[in-house]
Amino acid sequence: MKILLVDTSFAARPIYDYLVGCGHDVWTIGNRDSDLLARRAGGRWIKQDYSDIEAVERHVYALGIERVVPGCTDVSIATCAALTISRGIIDPPETVWKLNDKRSFRQLCAEHDVPAPRAVPPNDLPDRGRLICKPVDAFSGRGISIFDAGDEDALLDAMVLARDASPSGSYLIEEFVDGQLHSCTGYIENGWLTDTIYVIEGSSANPFAVDTSYVRHDIPERARISLEDGLTRLSIALGLVDGLLHTQFILTEDRAYAIECTRRCPGDLYPLLIENSTGMPYADRYASYFIGAPRPEAIHTTRHILRHTVTSDATGIYGGISMDRSVPILSVFPIQSIGQNMLPKQATRCGILFCETDSREQLAGLYRKFMDRRAYDVG
């Protein structure tokens, strides 16, 4: 089968490897010739900005593409959803937008009783308490700020920051929920959310961008049931097609608050974290829904794996990574080249590490070490 993977970044590598491994004729599309999958695809790479839906549609028709598979970006799944070839296979464009747009998703949560922070209209702010302002359509923690409800100057600054970071110039203000960020990743089957896996998601370099994570098996039952029941109600109401549903949420003791939701594959090699930790062939199953393949079987296992995105705490020139001797490295995926500029706050990513420990207790301790920025030096 001739398949177009709409992404060329290194993050989509597990998806690409699965499709190629199945024996398909796999093409990729993207506008950066230095991307991993642009180079690996060689003559089967299309140099094209895939946000241009009409141009992608023309390539699909000209090449005789039989199926398209979204990669790891919001733009990728939005484009795929708009293509004629995707009808009935991917959710309609308006459904994808409702899930990806933070203000729209917050409205859906209220309508379908999905536990989530309460949205606050800018003209009806409370007198006290902390609020958070964010762009409705940005990513990687851009344009987000927390402020006191009674501070009008801070409100104006937050709105400007969020508006400037938003491609559409739109923002959302909501109550700030103080807790630990997690993700719930699973698959919609006949409307129901199944095979869920939970991941703790820490932010050591930038408070609004995830860089350290591992699979958790001890999410409080009340939080888990409330979240999964709410997401199933939402799925049935929207008529979601079968496939991945990935949700980030804040956990406070035994309550979950949904923050955002998507149907595309998460980036930064999240599939490898899940597969190495649990045995579930995450990227394989994600892609199987788009190409009509049987669901790949999982070889269930439990390993204590941590994923971390390596970044610098200061501006400088990248010269390598010096690890603490106690860090049990499993694999390293470089992103930055020696001699390139580095920016702090996760503005520049040097690479992605996977580590493995012998127990949950050791894994939790290693997580704290990375969160305290004591696991390595970049210079």
The CATH number given to whatever domain includes residue 20 is 3.40.50.20
Looking at the predicted structure, is the pLDDT value of residue 123 above 90? no
Confidence of residue 132 (pLDDT cuts 50, 70, 90): very high
Q: Tell me the per-residue pLDDT of 164-209, one tens digit each, with 9 for 90 and over.
A: 999 999 999 999 999 999 999 999 999 999 999 999 999 999 999 9
Residue 8 in domain: yes
Q: How many residues does the chain have?
A: 379
- The number of angstroms, rounded, from the C-alpha of 331 to the middle of its chain's C-alpha atoms is 21
Closest among 248, 257, 238 to 96, alpha carbons compared: 238
User: Residue 126: which CATH number?
Assistant: 3.30.1490
Residue 251 in any domain: the answer is: yes
Cα distances (Å, whole numbers) of residue 379 to 191, 323, 326:
49, 11, 19
Do both 159 and 21 map to the same domain? no
pLDDT of amino acid 74? 94
Query: Tokens 């400088």 correspond to what residue?
Result: 316
In the chain, the number of structural domains is 3
One domain for residues 345 and 205: yes
What DSSP letter does each residue of 28-93 carry, written as one string? EEES-TTSHHHHHHGGGEEE--TT-HHHHHHHHHHHT--EEEE-SSHHHHHHHHHSGGGBTTB--H
If asked whether residues 141 and 196 sit together in one domain, one would say no
pLDDT value, residue 152: 86
73, 161: one domain: no
Please determine, for residue 258, whether its predicted confidence score (pLDDT) is greater than 90. yes
Residue 109 lies in a domain: no
Q: Is the pLDDT of residue 147 over 80?
A: yes
**Together in a domain, 319 and 359:** yes
| Mean of pLDDT over the chain | 95
Give the integer Cα–Cα distance in Å for 132 and 176. 5
Q: Do 149 and 197 fall within a single domain?
A: no
Residue type, 255: R
The burial of 243, by beta-carbon neighbours within 10 Å (0-12 exposed, 13-18 middle, 19 or more buried), is given as buried
Are 269 and 284 in the same domain?
Answer: yes
10 Å Cβ neighbour count for 232?
Answer: 20
Confidence of residue 371 (pLDDT cuts 50, 70, 90): very high
pTM (2 decimals)? Answer: 0.95
Both 197 and 167 in a single domain? Answer: no
**What residue type is 223 in one-letter code?**
A
Asked whether 72 and 266 are in contact (CB, 8 A), the reply is yes
pLDDT above 80: residue 140: no
Angle, alpha carbons 34-14-301 (nearest 5°): 150
Which long-range contacts does 280-285 make (Cβ < 8 Å, 24+ apart)? Answer: 280/195, 280/197, 281/18, 282/14, 282/185, 283/14, 283/15, 283/17, 283/18, 284/14, 284/18, 285/187, 285/244
What is the span of the domain harbouring residue 271?
Answer: 180-378
Q: 104 in a domain, yes or no? A: no
Same domain membership, residue 249 and residue 227: yes
Is 317 inside any structural domain?
yes
User: What burial letters (b/e) apply to 250-285, b meaning 16+ CB within 10 Å?
Assistant: bbeeebbbbbbbbbbbbbbbbbbbbbbbbebbbbbb
Could you tell me if residue 108 is inside a domain? no
Angle at 133 between CA 253 and CA 349, to 5 degrees: 80
**For residue 271, what is the domain's CATH number?**
3.30.470.20
In this structure, the answer to whether residues 162 and 298 fall within a common structural domain is no
Q: Mean pLDDT over residues 108-125, rounded?
A: 92
Which pLDDT value is given to residue 100? 93
Residue 122's pLDDT is 82
In which band, very low, low, confident or very high, does the pLDDT at 292 lie, cut at 50, 70 and 90?
very high
Q: Specify whether the CB–CB gap between 214 and 199 falls below 8 A.
A: yes
Last-in-domain residue among 128, 154, 175? 175
Does 68 share its domain with 137? Answer: no
What is the 8-class DSSP label of residue 293?
P
The identity of residue 141, as a single letter, is G
The conformational region for residue 200 under phi > 0 = left, psi -120 to 50 = alpha, else beta, is beta
Of 99, 129, 148, the residue that ends a domain is 99
Domain membership of residue 144 (yes or no) is: yes
Residues 163, 189, single domain; the answer is no
What is the mean pLDDT of the segment spanning 255-267? 97
Residue that terminates a domain, selected from 99, 128, 159: 99
**Residue 106 is assigned to a structural domain of this protein:** no
Taking 80 as the threshold, does the pLDDT of residue 76 lie above it?
Answer: yes
